[in-house]
Amino acid sequence: MEPVIRTSGLAKEYDGGVHALRGIDVEIGDGEFVAVTGPSGCGKSTLLNLLGGLDRPSRGEIELAGRRVDGFSEGRWALVRRREIGFVFQFFNLIGNLSVADNVELPGLLAGLPAKEARARRRELLASLGIEEHADAAPGRLSGGQQQRVAIARALVNRPRVLLADEPTGNLDSSSARDVMALLRAAHDERGQTIVLVTHDARVAARADRVIAMRDGAVSSETRLDDTRGDVSATVSRLMELGA
């Protein structure tokens, strides 16, 4: 499988001397669904932020779709993010004074989609995520689970190469969390969407095809789960043993 993301020796030290990442080498294949897991503070969000250009590495390389991006300027990263990367965050990060529809269409318009196309994609996404009746509402009127659906629609509107999700179920009750995972799974199964999902929850990680476990700024293990699916409890206990 052609890697869509590759890192080599990726390291990050924050001001104050925190070694958040100590040399990460990972490859993520085009169309893969990967979970990055591990205890709080092990560097998961730092890794995701570097992959999406939201922060810069101290050392090491990042390749996205075959080209080096780690040295990109903020302006070039902004273009990459607009066209090739979708983000989903724990706290949804929707724009409160725009309607649901506008939240989803805006990144499309910023990326240069004609208004008609942005509208068509928004309609299709909101329908497939089951929230079309809320198109004109303010996001704050929706439940957490519904807001996260809007955030997923927004992340997918530009058909990004990669969807980066940081604890997307971290602020949801367990039933909404299951829904959101099912939707991400469907985006992967039906559209071949590449997904990198960060979670400290082994049950959430168990929905991915591969789990990269981290500890103290380094990769501690990589486990392929697709052949063990069907026995989710065995998978979860395996992840627990791995210390995820």
Binding site for ligand ADP (CB under 6 A): 14, 16, 18, 20, 40-46
Give the nearer residue to ligand ADP in terms of CB position, either 48 or 113: 48
Distance CA 90, CA 44 (A): 13
Min dist. Cβ of residue 86 to Mg ion (A): 18
Residues near Mg ion (CB under 5 A), total: 1
Query: Under 8 Å CB-to-CB from 153, ≥6 apart: which residues?
Result: 104, 122, 125, 126, 129, 131
Give the nearer residue to ligand ADP in terms of CB position, either 90 or 128: 90
Min dist. Cβ of residue 62 to ligand ADP (A): 16
Distance CA 206, CA 3 (A): 22
Query: Under 8 Å CB-to-CB from 11, ≥6 apart: which residues?
Result: 19, 21, 22, 23, 24, 57, 58, 59, 60
What tokens were used for 238?
């395996």
Give the nearer residue to ligand ADP in terms of CB position, either 166 or 179: 166
Phi, psi at residue 175, to the nearest 5°?
-70, -40
Among 41-49, 73-81, 82-90, 147-155, which window interacts with Mg ion (CB under 5 A)?
41-49
Do 197 and 36 contact (CB within 8 A), yes or no?
Answer: yes
- Please list, residue by residue across 200-223, b when 16 or more beta carbons sit within 10 angstroms of its beta carbon and e when fewer do: bbbbbbbbbbbbbbbeebebebeb
Min dist. Cβ of residue 45 to ligand ADP (A): 3
193 binds Mg ion (CB under 5 A): no
Residue 20 interacts with which of ligand ADP, Mg ion, none, CB < 5 to 8 Å by class:
ligand ADP
**Beta 162-166 vs 85-88: how paired, if at all?**
parallel
SS3 content of the chain, % helix, strand, coil (to 5): 40, 25, 35
Give the nearer residue to ligand ADP in terms of CB position, either 150 or 212: 212
Give the nearer residue to ligand ADP in terms of CB position, either 99 or 220: 220
199 binds Mg ion (CB under 5 A): no
Among 25-33, 40-48, 136-144, 188-196, which window interacts with Mg ion (CB under 5 A)?
40-48
Among 43-51, 171-179, 209-217, 224-232, which window interacts with Mg ion (CB under 5 A)?
43-51
45 binds Mg ion (CB under 5 A): yes
Give the nearer residue to ligand ADP in terms of CB position, either 185 or 200: 200
